[in-house]
């Protein structure tokens, strides 16, 4: 188990370092820099040159890169020029709403997806199964900004159940302000949950121990809910952990539409302003979240399933 | 029965809204609507005149205002996000003087100073502070605070971004408890305009010196409101400053600016009544909002324009005949109608519109005349036309349509334009490093002042290091005229000189103003006293809610 964990951790470090390098060069190779964007059109060229020098933006890219790597390895993420504040402080203020949105979206996708998958698996290829498949394919195909706007239009503007945009904290605030964006985020993921869970349920439902359970006269609900679901859920968990990247990507769009002060909308602002420090830190954060989620899923799976744990021996 | 009817009505409303939303979403690709008739457009200018606002102002109420640009800092010497920061400075701070808050005139009127005198040589200004002035924390505003503020304004190492408006500043001295004197190095005609804007807003010396940057987390100023909560990326909540100098104002208890970059979301929030005011109404949405009885659309004349910047390092664009041909090739009335809902005005200037501008009868605009444009191309060094590029910022309401229209119009006179859409950061960077042929350099191109001094200097004064505001255009005669204009004190003399400069710039056409545009806001009809000044900034001290429950 320990050697498995060490191998997975080492891989995670390599992935994150690769991400660090890739993000640095991607954002630096795009034209524009934060000083020119903030000051151009007002300050004169000599002043802009002075500020760029202070921020080391006039040095060769390789110098900037080595400086960045050494600072990052020491845990210094620097100061955002465009927001005039330390990167850690800015991200700290904005990570909460995004985490709440992702968590809530995931929860909704499970609340919707699990019952639908069970219904579909119990009568495979029946009309209900087909309807669920078509319905979830439709929500999956809708662009999230459009789905978000539609939800805001119907439940915000017309029915007035929720505000059309904005964010407030606390359980009540989150329920009021994040339900629509979480639904927009969760509906796309519901498709993934339904598909994976349905197919593994179908497989499990054919197995001998399910037959045994049925022959003992247990109700279908109990057979599925207690015996089949537990054994089918592993795949779904893995898929969900892989989809954390998809969810983070979704927040970028939905936070703009619903005006949620999270890290997704922060990333958009940071890229627009070429705020190198902020973009790099946010990319690293998102990468770390994805790596950690998949690591956690692997560990859970290894704990639950000896075949995974022992495979490396 | 009644309920089911309601449901049907509701479903119908949803359908109608869905269709209109689909139009919102497709606005970038579609036309700008039929264009408003010019007769009714004048009604859009000025504050709300709805029936609800006919009474006298009512005190109380909380206003929610959806703003496109977020406030990122409250430090008036370090704006990071243009109007997002500036419009907040304007309600939490104030200066010695201000521009007419009603926006009706271009005059400078008293603010913290109730009167001032100017020495005959125009180099010494003496300001007298209003008695009993206090900051929003209750501490008195001293002449020492004012002098210290102005000396920071005049120090290019501290006022790094806006040092252009501190041109000619010498130093400020506190003469006595209520008098401040400012010595200029040379007469500066626009001096009062220069100190009417945010870099000269008065701050408490003791607190800023003691707290440093931490001061701006809970800033103290002399504006009508003060900061209660600043949630970066989300909103800023402002409450009434009990020590504000205009007695009885502001009327509102609080104002909350929500930062909502997406225009569809701003419109939805206004329609849902979650907010009472929104700024930056997209031109493609003006007509749809105007037909909504529950929404008032308001336009304000501001120095905002579509500036098409030309690079004179490119041989064809250095040719005066070519530049004039491009001016004549643009069908401005059509562009205005198709893309800008008829709200733009046709410029008789190459810069943004200033109230000092000479009228069309004195300086004529370029008309739409393809024959003349072709003739000018034939006379140029490029009689068979040429190929060039036009860069513009993507992701905005109208630039793509505008660029496509210009491509077609320039193509008709043999100027083949390749369109290059980039994000705003890239476009601005390419403009700044002069990597462009033709470019719309900013998503929103405005002046910080209502007088032309700042921009005339930017483009015509080669010595300021701006390379003709990155056009590489240079004209010593006009440069001399501009420098003289900046130091001339008599208003009537300045008006004469400006007309000559305006005409000379039109003749030389170093750049092209395609259209002058207004700022467009929208609000619910019970929001009254929605004054915007000549720079498009809200004067929320005059704003009141006729009935805070109506909506």
Note the pLDDT tens digit of each residue in B209-236.
999 999 999 999 999 999 999 988 889 9
CA A204 to chain B, closest CA, distance in angstroms equals: 43
Residue from B545, B541, B531, B540 nearest B46 by CA: B531
Q: Does A157 contact B234 at a Cβ distance shorter than 8 Å?
A: no
Q: Report the alpha-carbon distance of residue B365 to residue B383 in Å, rounded.
A: 25
Angle A87-A89-A95 from CA coordinates, rounded to 5°: 95
CA nearest to A36 within chain B: B429
CA A28 to chain B, closest CA, distance in angstroms equals: 12
In the A/B pair of chains, how many CB contacts fall below 8 A?
Answer: 151
CA A22 to chain B, closest CA, distance in angstroms equals: 20
Closest Cβ opposite residue A166 in set B213, B258, B428: B258
CA B131 to chain A, closest CA, distance in angstroms equals: 35
CA nearest to B166 within chain A: A43
pLDDT for B2 equals 42
Scanning B210-269 for CB atoms below 8 A from A yields 213, 231-235, 258-262, 264-265, 268-269
User: Is the model's pLDDT at A36 over the cut of 50?
Assistant: yes
CA nearest to A274 within chain B: B425
CA B274 to chain A, closest CA, distance in angstroms equals: 7
Return the percentage of chain A with pLDDT > 70, whole number: 97
Chain A contact set for B464 (CB, 8 A): 44
pLDDT for B277 equals 97
CA A181 to chain B, closest CA, distance in angstroms equals: 13
In this prediction, residue B24 has a pLDDT band, given cuts at 50, 70 and 90, of very low
Give the position of tokens 């336009």. Answer: B299
In this prediction, residue B93 has a pLDDT band, given cuts at 50, 70 and 90, of very high
Here the ipTM equals: 0.80
Host H or E run for residue A67? helix A61-73
Q: Report the alpha-carbon distance of residue B286 to residue B520 in Å, rounded.
A: 8
Length of chain A in residues, anyone? Answer: 313
* Backbone torsions φ then ψ of B172, nearest 5 degrees: -115, 145
**What does the pLDDT average to over B124-152?**
97
CA A98 to chain B, closest CA, distance in angstroms equals: 13
**Predicted confidence (pLDDT) per residue in A245-301, tens digit:** 888 888 998 998 898 999 998 998 898 888 998 999 999 898 888 888 888 887 777
Structure tokens at B511: 């750049």
| Cis-peptide into B250, omega within 30 deg | yes
**Predicted confidence (pLDDT) per residue in B6-19, tens digit:** 444 444 444 444 44
Chain B contact set for A269 (CB, 8 A): 70, 233
Chain B contact set for A265 (CB, 8 A): 233, 261
Q: Are strands B438-439 and B386-393 parallel, antiparallel or unpaired?
A: parallel
**Predicted confidence (pLDDT) per residue in A70-90, tens digit:** 888 888 888 888 888 889 999
User: Is the model's pLDDT at B281 over the cut of 80?
Assistant: yes
Closest Cβ opposite residue B265 in set A36, A38, A257: A257
Q: Which residue has the higher pLDDT, A42 or A127?
A: A127
pLDDT for B27 equals 34
Q: Report the alpha-carbon distance of residue B34 to residue B32 in Å, rounded.
A: 7
CA A42 to chain B, closest CA, distance in angstroms equals: 6
pLDDT for B1 equals 38
CA nearest to A148 within chain B: B265
Q: Report the alpha-carbon distance of residue A220 to residue B90 in Å, rounded.
A: 68
pTM: 0.86
pLDDT for B266 equals 93
Closest Cβ opposite residue A154 in set B14, B80, B265: B14
**Predicted confidence (pLDDT) per residue in B411-463, tens digit:** 999 999 999 999 888 899 899 999 999 999 998 899 999 999 999 999 999 99
pLDDT for A78 equals 87
Q: Which of B19, B67, B267, B432 to mutate to test the interface with A (most CBs of A within 10 A)?
A: B432
Closest Cβ opposite residue B72 in set A46, A83, A159: A83
**E strands within B119-224?**
124-129, 169-176, 179-184
Chain A contact set for B235 (CB, 8 A): 166
Q: Does A261 contact B262 at a Cβ distance shorter than 8 Å?
A: no
User: Is the model's pLDDT at A313 over the cut of 70?
Assistant: no
User: Is the model's pLDDT at B544 over the cut of 70?
Assistant: yes
**Predicted confidence (pLDDT) per residue in B30-78, tens digit:** 333 333 334 356 678 777 677 888 889 999 999 999 999 999 999 999 9
Round the average pLDDT of chain A to a whole number and report it. Answer: 86
pLDDT for B5 equals 44
**Predicted confidence (pLDDT) per residue in B245-275, tens digit:** 999 999 999 999 999 988 888 999 999 999 9
Q: Which residue has the higher pLDDT, A224 or A128?
A: A128
Other Cβ atoms less than 10 A from the Cβ of A160: the count is: 12
- Window from A47-56, A129-138, A175-184, B341-350 with minimum mean pLDDT: A47-56
Scanning B456-475 for CB atoms below 8 A from A yields 464-467
Q: Does B465 contact A46 at a Cβ distance shorter than 8 Å?
A: yes
- Window from A63-67, B311-315, B474-478 with minimum mean pLDDT: A63-67
Q: Report the alpha-carbon distance of residue B138 to residue B133 in Å, rounded.
A: 9
Q: Does A47 contact B163 at a Cβ distance shorter than 8 Å?
A: yes
DSSP assigned state of A200: H
Q: Are B516 and B305 in contact (CB under 8 A)?
A: yes
CA A133 to chain B, closest CA, distance in angstroms equals: 25
Q: Are B280 and B66 in contact (CB under 8 A)?
A: no
Chain A contact set for B72 (CB, 8 A): 82-84
Q: Does B431 contact A40 at a Cβ distance shorter than 8 Å?
A: yes
Scanning B371-410 for CB atoms below 8 A from A yields none
Return the percentage of chain B with pLDDT > 90, whole number: 77
Contacts with A159 (C-beta within 8 Å, 6 or more apart), sequence order: B10
CA B21 to chain A, closest CA, distance in angstroms equals: 8
Scanning B268-307 for CB atoms below 8 A from A yields 268-269, 271-272, 274
pLDDT for A308 equals 66
Q: Does A165 contact B430 at a Cβ distance shorter than 8 Å?
A: no
pLDDT for A309 equals 64
Chain B contact set for A273 (CB, 8 A): 425
Q: Does A40 contact B260 at a Cβ distance shorter than 8 Å?
A: no
pLDDT for B515 equals 97
CA nearest to A263 within chain B: B233
Q: Are B437 and B409 in contact (CB under 8 A)?
A: no
- Window from A209-213, B7-11, B404-408 with minimum mean pLDDT: B7-11
* Backbone torsions φ then ψ of B390, nearest 5 degrees: -130, 115
CA nearest to B393 within chain A: A272
Q: Per residue in B337-370, is it b (16+ CB within 10 Å) or e — as a string?
A: bbbbbbbbbbbbbbbbbbebbbeeeebeebebee
Scanning B425-454 for CB atoms below 8 A from A yields 425-426, 428-432, 441-442, 448
Chain B contact set for A37 (CB, 8 A): 424-425, 428-429
Q: Which residue has the higher pLDDT, A7 or A310?
A: A7
B157 touches chain A (CB under 8 A): no
Host H or E run for residue A221? helix A220-222
Residue from A253, A166, A83, A269 nearest B258 by CA: A166
First to last CA, chain B: 28
Angle A277-A280-A281 from CA coordinates, rounded to 5°: 85
């Amino acid at each position: 188990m320990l050697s498995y964990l060490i191998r997975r951790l080492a891989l995670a470090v390599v992935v994150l370092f690769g991400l660090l390098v890739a993000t640095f060069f991607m954002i630096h190779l795009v034209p524009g820099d934060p000083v020119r964007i903030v000051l151009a059109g007002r300050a004169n060229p000599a002043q802009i040159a002075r500020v760029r020098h202070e921020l080391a933006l006039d040095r060769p890219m390789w110098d900037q890169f080595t400086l960045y790597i050494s600072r990052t390895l020491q845990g210094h993420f620097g100061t955002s020029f465009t927001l005039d504040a330390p990167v850690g402080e800015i991200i700290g203020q904005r990570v909460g709403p995004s985490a709440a949105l992702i968590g809530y979206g995931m929860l909704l996708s499970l609340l919707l997806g699990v019952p639908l998958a069970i219904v579909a698996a119990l009568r495979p290829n029946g009309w209900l199964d087909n309807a669920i498949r078509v319905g979830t394919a439709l929500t999956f195909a809708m662009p999230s900004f459009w789905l978000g706007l539609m939800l805001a239009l119907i439940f915000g503007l017309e029915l007035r159940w929720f505000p059309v945009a904005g964010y407030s904290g606390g359980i009540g605030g989150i329920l009021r302000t994040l339900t629509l964006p979480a639904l927009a985020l969760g509906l796309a993921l519901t498709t993934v949950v339904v598909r994976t869970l349905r197919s593994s349920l179908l497989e499990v439902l054919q197995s001998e121990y399910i037959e045994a359970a049925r022959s003992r006269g247990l109700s279908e609900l109990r057979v599925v809910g207690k015996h089949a679901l537990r054994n089918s859920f592993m795949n779904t968990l893995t898929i969900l952990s892989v989809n954390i990247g998809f969810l983070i990507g979704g927040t970028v769009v939905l936070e703009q539409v619903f005006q949620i002060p999270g890290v997704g909308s922060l990333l958009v602002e940071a890229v627009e302003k070429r705020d190198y420090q902020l973009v790099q830190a946010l990319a690293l954060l998102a990468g770390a979240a994805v790596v950690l989620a998949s690591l956690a899923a692997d560990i859970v799976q290894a704990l639950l399933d000896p075949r995974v744990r022992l495979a490396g021996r | 029965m009644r309920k089911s009817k309601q449901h049907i009505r509701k479903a119908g409303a949803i359908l109608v809204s869905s269709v209109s939303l689909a139009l919102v979403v497709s606005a970038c690709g579609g036309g700008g609507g039929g264009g408003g008739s010019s007769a009714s457009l004048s009604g859009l200018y000025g504050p709300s005149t709805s029936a609800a606002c006919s009474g006298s102002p009512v005190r109380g109420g909380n206003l929610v205002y959806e703003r496109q640009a977020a406030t990122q800092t409250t430090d008036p010497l370090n704006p990071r996000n243009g109007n997002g920061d500036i419009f907040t400075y304007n309600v939490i701070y104030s200066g010695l003087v201000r521009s007419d808050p009603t926006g009706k005139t271009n005059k400078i009127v008293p603010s913290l100073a109730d009167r001032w005198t100017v020495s005959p040589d125009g180099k010494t200004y003496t300001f007298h502070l209003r008695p009993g002035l206090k900051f929003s924390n209750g501490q008195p505003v001293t002449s020492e605070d004012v002098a210290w503020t102005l000396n920071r304004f005049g120090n290019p190492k501290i006022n790094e971004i806006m040092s252009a408006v501190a041109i000619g500043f010498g130093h400020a001295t506190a003469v006595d408890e209520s008098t401040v004197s400012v010595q200029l190095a040379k007469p500066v005609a626009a001096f009062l305009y220069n100190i009417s804007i945010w870099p000269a807003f008065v701050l408490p010396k003791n607190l800023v010196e003691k707290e440093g940057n931490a001061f701006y987390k809970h800033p103290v100023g002399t504006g009508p409101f003060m900061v209660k909560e600043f949630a970066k990326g989300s909103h800023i909540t402002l409450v009434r400053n009990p020590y504000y100098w205009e007695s009885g104002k502001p009327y509102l208890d609080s104002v909350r600016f929500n930062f909502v970059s997406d225009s569809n979301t701003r419109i939805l929030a206004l329609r849902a009544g979650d907010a009472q005011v929104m700024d930056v109404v997209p031109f493609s949405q003006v007509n749809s909002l105007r037909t909504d009885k529950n929404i008032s659309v308001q336009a304000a004349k501001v120095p905002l324009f579509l500036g098409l910047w030309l690079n004179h390092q490119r041989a064809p664009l250095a040719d005066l005949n070519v530049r004039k041909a491009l001016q004549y090739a643009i069908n401005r009335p059509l562009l205005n109608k198709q893309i800008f809902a008829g709200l733009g005005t046709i410029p008789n200037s190459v810069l943004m519109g200033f109230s000092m501008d000479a009228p069309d009868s004195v300086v004529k605009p370029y008309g739409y005349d393809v024959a003349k444009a072709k003739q000018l191309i034939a006379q140029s060094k490029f009689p068979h036309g040429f190929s060039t590029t036009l860069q513009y910022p993507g992701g905005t309401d109208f630039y793509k349509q505008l660029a496509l229209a210009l491509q077609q119009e320039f193509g008709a006179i043999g100027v083949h334009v390749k369109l290059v859409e980039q994000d705003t950061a890239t476009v601005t960077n390419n403009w700044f490093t002069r990597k462009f042929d033709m470019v719309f350099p900013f998503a929103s191109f405005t002046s910080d002042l209502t007088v032309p001094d700042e921009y005339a200097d930017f483009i015509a004064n080669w010595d300021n290091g701006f390379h003709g505001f990155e056009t590489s255009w240079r004209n010593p005669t006009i440069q001399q005229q501009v420098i003289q204009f900046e130091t001339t004190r008599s208003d009537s003399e300045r008006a004469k000189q400006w007309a000559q400069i305006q005409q000379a710039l039109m003749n030389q056409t170093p750049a092209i103003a395609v259209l002058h545009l207004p700022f467009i806001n929208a609000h619910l009809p019970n929001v009254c006293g929605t004054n915007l000044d000549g720079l498009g900034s809200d004067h929320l001290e005059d704003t009141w809610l006729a009935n805070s429950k109506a909506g």
